């Protein structure tokens, strides 16, 4: 295929503009409420690898989860988009060294935004994302079976699940819901509360079903093993990576951060080659 001068110019402009923001949205297929813990520990691991990380809450989380993130009472990015607040008020540096923000109020996540508000917030979010190496999103699907913003729909999606039958079914439902609205795309799979062998079994079975019925490919992101150190670190208000550096869970989060960093870097390089 021969690129036209217009195609070549457009590709060159995208390359000159720099790499796309690395946005990773995590959906949960569990009822354990551990997603915030996963995100926090992953953020610390990425931070220790030298990345500037922003964690954005974009889910209707309970008060306890918002407290864990440290964003209770923090102005939302929606308030910034509406020019009610300035960006500096909506971003907080956590004690663990990563930044946190709240996308919008719970009632806005539930009811959704009109086109104008969604466009304004997406623009704010995309601009903000360029200031960080990685943006991790604590996400859930909207009533329309998509993520809250277009930039999230266009970026990496990871589904967290366990090896329980209901969790596996829920993970597949999430994949089908997103597929029904966004079409063919890849998903990362993270299996928690299991060892690596068990996680590989879960992934292999789920990947076979997704490939057979939806013609999509899944990517294995890793396993987080059952580890009491996770609970102990949470009780201490710290990440397991900091509190218990020799724990099994710490090694798992370090491996996940390394895998995620490599995967995102490879996708950016491939995207730039495709657009050139």
- Residue matched to tokens 């490599």: 262
By three-state DSSP, how is residue 22 classified? coil
Phi/psi at 17 (5° precision): -75, -10
Task: Residue 121: count other Cβ atoms within 10 Å of its Cβ.
Answer: 25
Q: How far is residue 185's CA from residue 154's CA, in Å, rounded to a whole number?
A: 9
Question: Is residue 105 within 8 Å of residue 73, measured between CB atoms?
Answer: no
Q: How far is residue 165's CA from residue 189's CA, in Å, rounded to a whole number?
A: 15
CATH superfamily of 23-271: P-loop containing nucleotide triphosphate hydrolases (3.40.50.300)
Strand partners, 224: 192
The DSSP annotation for 63-87 comes to: HHHHHHHT-TTPPPHHHHHTTSS-H
Question: Is residue 237 within 8 Å of residue 26, measured between CB atoms?
Answer: no
Q: What is the pTM of this model?
A: 0.87
pLDDT in tens, 105-123: 888 888 889 999 999 999 9
pLDDT in tens, 19-42: 567 999 999 998 766 889 999 999
Q: At a CB cut-off of 8 Å and minimum separation 6, what does 66 contact? A: 57, 72, 102
Nearest 5°: the CA angle 39, 44, 45 is 95
The one-digit pLDDT tens for each residue of the chain (276 residues) are 334 344 444 444 444 445 567 999 999 998 766 889 999 999 999 999 999 999 999 998 767 777 778 788 899 999 999 999 999 999 999 989 999 999 998 888 888 899 999 999 999 999 999 999 999 999 999 999 999 999 999 999 999 999 999 999 999 999 999 999 999 999 999 999 999 999 999 999 999 999 999 999 999 999 999 999 999 998 898 999 999 999 999 999 999 999 988 656 545 555 554 444
Q: What pairing do the DSSP bridges indicate for beta strands 92-93 and 134-139?
A: unpaired
Q: Positive or negative CA dihedral for 196, 197, 198, 201?
A: positive
- Residue matched to tokens 């079975």: 205
Q: How many helices (H) and strands (E) does the chain have?
A: 13, 8
Question: Is residue 122 within 8 Å of residue 75, measured between CB atoms?
Answer: no
Question: Is residue 80 within 8 Å of residue 101, measured between CB atoms?
Answer: no
**First vs last Cα of the chain: how many Å apart?**
12
- Residue matched to tokens 């989380």: 61
Mean pLDDT for the chain overall: 87
**Nearest of 163, 174, 170, 149 to residue 199 by alpha carbon:** 163
């Amino acid at each position: 295929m021969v690129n036209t001068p217009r195609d070549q110019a457009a590709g060159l402009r995208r390359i000159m503009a720099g790499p796309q923001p690395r946005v990773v949205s995590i959906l949960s297929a569990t009822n354990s409420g551990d997603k915030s813990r996963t995100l926090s520990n992953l953020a610390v691991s990425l931070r220790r690898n030298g990345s500037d990380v922003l964690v954005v809450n974009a889910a209707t989380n309970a008060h306890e989860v918002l407290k864990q993130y440290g964003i209770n009472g923090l102005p939302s990015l929606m308030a910034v988009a509406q020019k009610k607040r300035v960006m500096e008020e909506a971003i907080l540096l956590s004690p663990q060294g990563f930044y946190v923000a709240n996308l919008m109020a719970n009632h806005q996540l539930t009811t959704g935004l009109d086109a104008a508000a969604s466009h304004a917030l997406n623009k704010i979010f995309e601009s903000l994302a360029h200031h960080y190496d990685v943006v991790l999103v604590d996400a859930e699907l909207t009533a329309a079976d998509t993520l809250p913003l277009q930039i999230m729909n266009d970026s990496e999606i990871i589904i967290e699940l366990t090896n329980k039958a209901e969790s596996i079914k829920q993970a597949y439902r999430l994949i089908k819901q997103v597929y029904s609205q966004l079409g063919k795309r890849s998903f990362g799979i993270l299996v928690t509360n299991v060892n690596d062998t068990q996680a590989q079994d879960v992934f292999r079975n789920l990947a076979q079903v997704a490939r057979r019925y939806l013609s999509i490919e899944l990517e294995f992101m890793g396993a987080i093993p059952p580890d009491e150190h996770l609970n102990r670190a949470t009780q201490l208000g710290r990440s397991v990576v900091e509190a218990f550096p020799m724990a099994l869970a710490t090694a798992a989060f370090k491996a996940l951060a390394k895998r995620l960093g490599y995967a995102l870097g490879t996708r950016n390089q491939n995207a730039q080659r495709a657009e050139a």
